[in-house]
Amino acid sequence: MNKIITVLPGDGIGPEVIKAAQKVLDTVAEKFSHQFTYLNAKIGGVAIDEEGTPLPQETIDLCKKSDGVLLGAVGGPKWDTLPGHMRPERGLLGIRKALELYANLRPVTAHKSLLDASTLKKEVIEGVDLMIVRELTGGLYFGQPQERRQENDGESVVDTLYYKNYEIERIIRQAFELARLRRKKVTSVDKANVLESSRVWREIAIAVHADYPDVELEHMLVDNAAMQLIRDPKQFDVVVTENMFGDILSDEASMLTGSLGMLPSASINGNGPGLYEPIHGSAPDIAGKNLANPLATILSVAMLLRYSFLMQEEADAVETAVSKVLEAGYRTGDIAEKGQPVLSTEEMTEKVIEHI
């Protein structure tokens, strides 16, 4: 197959991990007889420096033209003093919005050989394999009004949790579709004992479930879900939830595996190009030193192959290669234990490629 991929290296370690990811993609292309064409575009600090804006129109146009987008990371101390609307992070929010990426997928997998990296007990996290599906373009973070007010009896403030019912339906549908590719269980997380929006969320989840009788559906209140994620994370397969709930729960869940340098993510919308990126930032402290762990970005490549290109075998090959490399004891600095030799970004990438 011939696919066009827009690459947005961004700032800090972004270009280093993106280079690693492209090498992996080249290997997959060769091995499985595909052709991947890369379009390079700017986002974040590098775009501010060269184009005067964190998200040039050309970048949006290229992304829209492509079959998938791969992003490194944005930001760094150099741009920290800029006003909010000019900051590198604006580029990220802007591209998610421009591509209408309403579903944020964060898989959390506890790699066998990295169990000691977590702050949680081995027996709690061993075998964890869950996916948080966070609604990304609506809910509390986007609802209007969102403002400070001057009222007769004093100052006040309002945020709004607003959803069109179709927005709830499409994210829940996405969760059921993903569950079908996995262990066939969806946990819909809400706060239906308090919020009207959650009661509607629950009604829609039940209605959509009728189309997926082969998948189990359970409802869980968000405070309980936060507790259960730590108490017994293995009970979860696919977790679907509102924007802010998902923001909090996905950060919590990411710590089950211990290392930021290991976790990929995907933001998709069902038909247009998806955006794939590691969850870590630009790590200015190690940028340019060939020290970054490329695995989060390489695992994001696996997600790109799986969810945007529907190349299951290819995605499996990349994920299996990463597992094998870890099992063989290869480590970058962030995941190495005392005494283990430390590989550079490029060396780690070579090891993955050898195992594909």
Instruction: Give the tokens for residue 102.
Output: 């309403």
Query: Which of the choices ligand NAI, Mg ion, none does residue 319 contact, using the CB cut-off of 5 to 8 A by kind?
Result: none
Q: Is 242 a binder of Mg ion (CB under 5 A)?
A: no
Is 141 tagged catalytic?
Answer: yes
- The active-site residue, picked from 26, 49, 232, 251, is 251
Residue 101, SS3? coil
Q: What share of the chain is helix, strand, coil (3-state, %, to 5)?
A: 45, 25, 30
Q: Is 334 a binder of Mg ion (CB under 5 A)?
A: no
**Nearest C-alpha neighbor of 69 from the set 89, 35, 41:** 41
Residue type, 343: L
Please report the beta strands in the chain, taking only residues with DSSP state E, as ranges in sequence order.
Answer: 2-10, 35-40, 68-73, 103-109, 129-135, 139-151, 154-162, 185-190, 216-221, 238-241, 264-268, 274-278
Is 223 tagged catalytic?
Answer: yes
Query: Which of the choices ligand NAI, Mg ion, none does residue 221 contact, using the CB cut-off of 5 to 8 A by kind?
Result: none
In the region spanning residues 3 to 22, those forming contacts with ligand NAI, defined by CB under 6 A, are: 13
Residue 228's CB is within 10 A of a number of other CB atoms, namely: 17
- The active-site residue, picked from 3, 23, 191, 330, is 191
**Nearest C-alpha neighbor of 104 from the set 248, 276, 295:** 276
Query: Which of the choices ligand NAI, Mg ion, none does residue 247 contact, using the CB cut-off of 5 to 8 A by kind?
Result: Mg ion
Comparing CB distances to ligand NAI, the nearer of 192 and 268 is 268
Give me the least distance between CB of 137 and Mg ion, in Å please: 15
Per CB under 6 A, the segment of 148-156, 168-176, 178-186, 288-296 that binds ligand NAI is 288-296
Residues that bind ligand NAI (CB under 6 A): 13, 73-76, 89, 92, 260-261, 280-286, 292-293, 296, 334
Residue list, annotated binding site for Mg(2+): 223, 247, 251
